[in-house]
Amino acid sequence: MDTVRGAGVVVTGAGGGIGAALARRFAAGGARVVVNDLDPARIEPLAREIGGIAVAGDASGVVAAARDALGGTVDVYCANAGLASPGDAFADEEVWAAAWDVNVMAHVRAARALLPQWLERGGGRFVTTASAAGLLTMIGAAPYSVTKHGAVAFAEWLSLTYRHRGVKVHAICPQGVRTDMLTAAGSAGELVLAPGAVEPDAVADALFDAMAADRFLVLPHPEVAGYHQARAADPDRWLGGMNRLQQKWEETTGAGAAAPGAATGP
């Protein structure tokens, strides 16, 4: 894509999986790419491979260092870092807080740092790696599902607020992708996501297709569009179907058989 050639691109969570695939695809298109991860050892080989720049550290605060590494301008920001965060309503407060911080607030902090320059010059592109769970939901993963809904909601807000000022926004919402996060999803992931899982390169392809079409939703699994429509058209029917899936998971694995603390009262 001509819009990618020479662009300054930042990809957080680029140590593997979707992030690494995005970084390779942008670099192949002629972009100047900063790859970010908490662990320098995960991104330095990738930076060498693609001729990019490794900037290690927390994704929440990487914009300033990445901008400096790119000579003062970030054209495309891929908010890809995320936490799988399985668990139910009884998950520890720390699990909920970490999921919220990484899956939502890191995006908010990045936008705060990027928007002044983008709005001044009239252009920029923000890419959120969310999940089909952010449009639908995911059994066995309350913190993940709730915060991915938040990530999609924030991306929608950015798009509706700033698109007339040149800011383009895309929300990537795949189902299963063959990454470490799929493994971390455990038995629920094996039941729901693994059968139709795609390679990370397919996600990068879907993003580039959406960028070319100027389309907000990026759906590496096109069937998610139908599920999303069915959920909106008849929420009770959709929830009933998901509950049956929940019951199947419980019967297969024994998960969710007892709610921790349920008998102890407030």
- Just list the catalytic residues: 144, 148
Q: Helix, strand or coil for residue 247?
A: helix
Q: Helix, strand or coil for residue 8?
A: strand
Query: Which of 201, 217, 210 lies closest to 23 in space, CA to CA?
Result: 201
Measured CA to CA, the distance from residue 234 to residue 124 in angstroms comes to: 36
Q: Considering Cα of 9, then 201, then 40, then 172, what sign does the dihedral take?
A: positive
CB 2 within 8 A of CB 165: no
Q: How far is CA 206 from CA 35, 63, 88, 168, 214, in A?
A: 20, 25, 31, 16, 12
Measured CA to CA, the distance from residue 151 to residue 83 in angstroms comes to: 12
Phi, psi of 38 (to 5 degrees): -65, -35
Measured CA to CA, the distance from residue 168 to residue 146 in angstroms comes to: 24
How far separated are the first and last CA of the chain, in Å rounded?
Answer: 57
Measured CA to CA, the distance from residue 245 to residue 95 in angstroms comes to: 24
Q: How far is CA 41 from CA 17, 38, 54, 115, 216, in A?
A: 15, 9, 10, 30, 33
